[in-house]
C-alpha cells in the first residue's frame, strides 16, 4: 500500500526541484535530525513533508518498532540461522539487558571486556612481555571481512588517540599481504592475534599458519604461544589450533561478523588506544542505541537515515549510493559500509522465502573528499545516472595548527552538496562563454558542456570532532540504518548465504590448479583460465 503511495507521490512531484523546496526558510531545520551535537541534514533531497509521512507510515506498517524491541530483547530475529542479534549488548553497560534462551547475556559480555582490558593494558604497560624480554612493539591482527574491516577502519579513524603498540591488519590470502607486513617486523617483539568468528575461514587460517611459522623460526615452538592470541566464537577450535585458553577472547553466535567490532574483535583497537578510550567508543554506540529506541518518528536519526536510503533506492530507483567522508581518517569507512550494508541487505529473497516486492539494497561505494573530487565527481555532477551522496564531516580537526586546512576541507564538502543541488543553467553557461568572447554556435556548443543539471540529492552528517565516542555513534547509526532498511524490505539482514558458493568452488578448484584433479568437469572458460595459470607459473 505505502510503496504504491510513495511511487505515485514521487511521480506527482513532477518538476519540483530540491532548490524549489529550499525556498522554504524552515526547510533546513525541518528536514534534519539532531542527536545530541550530531546533525543529519537531509534537506538537500527531494523528500517533502508528504514523502516523509508516507515513509514513516511504511516503517510503521513494516513493524520496525516491534522488530527493534525484539532485537534488543534477544529474540531470534536472524531466522534463517536461528540466532539472536545482540551486538548492541556488547556496548551495553548494564546492569540488566537481553536474555537468550532465558540466560542474561551481560555478565558474560562484561567479564570478557574486563579480560580484554587486562590483556590490552598488560601489553601497553609491558606487564605482558615477549618471551625474550623487552616489550611488544607491534600487534598483527589476522582476520578478514567482519574480523578486519571494522577494526581496521576504526584504527585509522582514531589515529590521534594511539599511544600503545602499533597494530597492523592482515586480511588477504594473497601472500603479498602478510609478507609485506611481517617484512618490517621483529618476531621477538610482535604479538599475532588470529581473529575469526568461525575459526575456519581459509584466508585467515592460511595467514595464521604463515605467521605462526614466522614466529616459530625466531622464538621456537615452545614459546610461540606467548606471542599468540585469538578472538573467536569457536573457542574449541582455537584450543585445537594451539592457543592457550587464557589468550582466547570469545563471543557468542548472536554477534554477526560484520557487527563484531564492539567485542573481542575490537581488541587491537583497545591495545592501540587503551581501554578507557575503547569504553568511550562503546559508550558512543550505546548512546545511539538509546536514541534509536527512544526518539520518535522524524526525530529518530537511524530511522530517518534509513528512510532517506529507501526513498533513493526503492522509490526513486537510484542504483548506488556514495559515502563521501570529508575526513581522511574515515578513509576506510566506505569499505566497511560496503560489507555492513551490502552483505546485510543485498538479498532478493524475503524472510518467508518469497521473492522481494521491491529492489534490494543499493551498491555502496565511495572515497574520502577532497580526493574523490579530482577523480569521479565528474560523473556525479554530469553523468546520466543520479548518485545520491552521503557526506560526513567534522566541524573541527585534531590539528589546531592546521585549522586553515580544515576550513578548506569543510568549505569543499559544503560546496559539493550546494553544487549538486543548485547546478548551473544553460543561460549562466552561455553568459560565461560570452565573457570569454565566444558567440553563435560555438558559444552554445561550449556552453552545453558547462551545464550542470543540478537537483542531485545529498545528505550531510556533521559532528564536532571525530572522537572515540563520536565514532561509536556513527558506526551504531549505520548498523541501525541497515536494520531498519532490512525490516522494511522484509529480508534477514543477519545472514550471508550469498558468500558460500564462491568459497565452496575455491576449495574444489585448488586441487585442479595444483594438477591433482582433472579440469574436465569445469566449464570452458574456467578450464582455459586453469590452463593459462598452469602454463605460466614458475
Least distance in Å: CB of 456 to ligand G6P? 33
Q: Sign of torsion, CA 180 185 186 191?
A: negative
| Count of residues interacting with ligand G6P (CB under 6 A) | 14
Rule CB under 6 A: is residue 206 a binding residue for ligand G6P?
no
Verify binding: residue 250, ligand G6P, rule CB under 6 A.
no
Question: From CA 120, how far away is CA 107, in angstroms rounded?
Answer: 20
Conformational region of residue 494, where left means phi above 0, alpha means psi within -120 to 50, and beta covers everything else: alpha
3-state secondary structure of 363: strand
- To the nearest whole angstrom, how small is the minimum distance from the Cβ of residue 258 to ligand G6P? 5
Alpha carbons 266 and 262: distance in angstroms, whole number = 6
- Name the residue nearer to ligand G6P (CB basis): 142 or 433: 142
Residue choice 144, 157, 323, 330 for contact with ligand G6P (CB under 6 A): 144
Peptide bond into 95 cis (omega under 30): yes
Q: Judged by CB under 6 A, does residue 343 bind ligand G6P?
A: yes
Q: Mask 92-131, x = binds ligand G6P (CB under 6 A)?
A: ----------------------------------------
Report how far residue 143's alpha carbon sits from residue 245's, in angstroms, rounded to the nearest whole number: 19
Least Cα distance to 392 among 39, 105, 95, 153 occurs for 39
Whether residue 335 contacts residue 365, with contact meaning beta carbons closer than 8 Å, is answered with no
- 78-91 exposure pattern, b = at least 16 Cβ within 10 A, e = fewer: beeeebbbbbbbbb
Chain length of the chain: 538
Among 203, 280, 343, 485, the one annotated catalytic? 343
Binding to ligand G6P (CB under 6 A) within 258-287 occurs at 258
Cell representation of residue 249: 577472547
Contact pattern for ligand G6P over residues 149 through 188, marking x by CB under 6 A: ----------------------------------------
Among 197, 329, 332, 473, binds ligand G6P (CB under 6 A): 197
503 is catalytic: yes
Q: Which stretch binds ligand G6P (CB under 6 A): 29-37, 194-202, 245-253, 416-424?
A: 194-202
User: Is 216 in the active site?
Assistant: no
96, 294, 296, 374: the active-site residue: 374
Judged by CB under 6 A, does residue 493 bind ligand G6P? Answer: no
CB of 499 or CB of 507, closer to ligand G6P = 499
Per CB under 6 A, the list member of 74, 97, 146, 274 interacting with ligand G6P is 146
Residue number with CB closer to ligand G6P (167 or 433): 167
Helix spans in 311-454 (H) = 333-337, 344-345, 377-382, 403-422, 426-435, 440-449
Least distance in angstroms from the C-beta of 293 to ligand G6P: 26
What is the C-alpha separation between 236 and 449, in angstroms, rounded? 64
Nearest distance in Å: CB 231, ligand G6P: 9
Smallest gap from Cβ 331 to ligand G6P, in A, equals 20
**Lateral strand order in the sheet of 228-232:** 166-170, 138-142, 190-195, 228-232, 248-250
Q: Nearest distance from residue 106's CB to ligand G6P, in Å?
A: 23
390: β partners: 323, 459
Single residue of 46, 78, 88, 204 touching ligand G6P by CB under 6 A? 204
Tell me how far apart the alpha carbons of residues 199 and 348 are, in angstroms, rounded to a whole number: 29
Query: In angstroms, rounded to a whole number, what is the distance separating the alpha carbons of residues 79 and 285?
Result: 25
Q: Does residue 257 bind ligand G6P (CB under 6 A)?
A: yes
Q: Does 85 bind ligand G6P (CB under 6 A)?
A: no
Is 374 one of the annotated active-site residues of the chain? yes
Residue carrying the nine cell digits 538479498: 347
Decide: is 344 part of the binding site for ligand G6P (CB under 6 A).
Answer: no
Verify binding: residue 397, ligand G6P, rule CB under 6 A.
no
Which residues are catalytic, by number?
343, 374, 503
Contact set with ligand G6P (CB under 6 A): 144-147, 196-198, 201, 204, 257-258, 343, 496, 499
Amino acid at each position: 500500500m505505502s510503496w504504491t503511495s510513495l511511487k505515485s507521490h514521487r511521480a506527482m512531484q513532477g518538476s519540483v526541484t530540491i532548490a524549489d523546496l529550499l525556498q522554504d526558510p524552515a526547510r533546513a531545520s525541518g528536514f534534519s535530525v539532531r542527536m545530541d551535537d550530531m546533525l543529519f541534514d537531509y534537506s538537500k533531497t527531494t523528500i517533502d513533508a508528504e514523502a516523509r509521512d508516507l515513509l514513516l507510515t511504511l516503517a510503521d506498517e513494516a513493524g520496525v518498532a516491534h522488530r527493534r524491541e525484539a532485537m534488543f530483547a534477544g529474540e531470534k530475529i536472524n531466522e534463517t540461522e536461528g540466532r539472536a542479534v545482540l551486538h548492541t549488548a556488547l556496548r551495553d553497560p548494564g546492569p540488566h539487558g537481553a536474555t537468550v534462551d532465558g540466560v542474561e547475556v551481560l555478565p558474560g559480555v562484561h567479564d570478557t571486556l574486563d579480560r580484554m582490558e587486562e590483556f590490552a593494558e598488560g601489553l601497553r604497560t609491558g606487564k605482558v612481555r615477549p618471551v625474550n624480554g623487552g616489550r611488544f612493539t607491534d600487534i598483527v591482527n589476522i582476520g578478514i571481512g567482519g574480523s578486519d574491516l571494522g577494526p581496521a577502519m576504526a584504527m585509522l579513524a582514531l589515529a590521534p588517540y594511539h599511544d600503545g603498540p602499533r597494530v597492523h591488519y592482515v586480511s588477504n590470502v594473497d601472500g603479498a599481504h602478510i609478507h609485506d607486513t611481517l617484512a618490517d617486523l621483529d618476531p621477538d617483539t610482535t604479538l599475532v592475534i588470529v581473529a575469526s568468528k568461525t575459526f575456519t575461514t581459509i584466508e585467515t587460517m592460511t595467514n595464521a599458519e604463515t605467521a605462526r611459522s614466522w614466529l616459530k623460526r625466531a622464538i621456537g615452538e615452545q614459546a610461540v604461544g606467548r606471542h599468540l592470541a585469538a578472538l573467536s566464537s569457536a573457542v574449541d577450535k582455537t584450543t585445537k589450533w594451539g592457543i592457550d585458553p587464557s589468550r582466547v577472547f570469545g563471543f557468542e553466535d548472536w554477534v554477526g561478523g560484520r557487527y563484531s567490532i564492539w567485542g573481542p574483535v575490537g581488541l587491537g583497537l583497545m591495545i592501540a588506544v587503551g581501554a578507557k578510550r575503547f569504553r568511550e567508543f562503546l559508550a558512543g554506540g550505546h548512546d545511539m542505541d538509546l536514541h534509536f529506541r527512544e526518539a520518535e518518528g522524524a526525530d529518530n536519526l537511524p530511522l530517518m537515515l534509513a528512510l532517506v536510503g529507501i526513498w533513493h533506492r526503492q522509490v526513486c530507483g537510484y542504483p548506488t549510493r556514495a559515502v563521501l567522508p570529508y575526513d581522511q581518517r574515515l578513509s576506510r569507512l566506505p569499505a566497511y559500509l560496503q560489507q555492513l550494508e551490502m552483505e546485510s541487505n543485498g538479498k532478493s529473497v524475503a524472510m518467508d522465502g518469497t521473492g522481494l516486492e521491491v529492489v534490494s539494497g543499493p551498491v555502496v561505494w565511495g572515497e574520502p573528499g577532497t580526493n574523490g573530487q579530482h577523480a569521479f565527481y565528474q560523473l556525479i555532477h554530469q553523468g546520466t545516472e543520479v548518485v545520491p551522496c552521503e557526506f560526513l564531516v567534522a566541524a573541527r580537526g585534531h590539528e589546531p595548527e592546521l585549522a586553515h586546512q580544515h576550513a578548506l576541507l569543510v568549505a569543499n564538502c559544503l560546496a559539493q552538496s550546494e553544487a549538486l543541488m543548485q547546478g548551473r543553467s544553460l543561460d549562466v553557461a552561455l553568459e560565461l562563454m560570452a565573457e570569454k568572447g565566444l558567440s553563435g554556435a560555438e558559444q552554445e556548443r561550449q556552453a552545453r558542456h558547462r551545464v550542470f543539471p543540478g537537483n542531485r540529492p545529498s545528505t550531510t552528517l556533521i559532528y564536532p570532532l571525530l572522537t572515540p565516542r563520536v565514532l561509536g555513534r556513527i558506526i551504531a547509526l549505520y548498523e541501525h540504518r541497515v536494520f531498519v532498511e532490512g525490516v522494511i524490505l522484509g529480508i534477514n539482514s543477519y545472514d550471508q548465504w550469498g558468500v558460500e558458493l564462491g568459497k565452496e568452488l575455491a576449495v574444489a578448484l585448488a586441487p585442479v590448479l595444483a594438477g591433482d584433479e582433472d579440469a574436465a568437469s569445469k566449464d570452458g572458460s574456467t578450464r582455459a583460465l586453469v590452463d593459462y595459470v598452469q602454463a605460466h607459473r614458475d
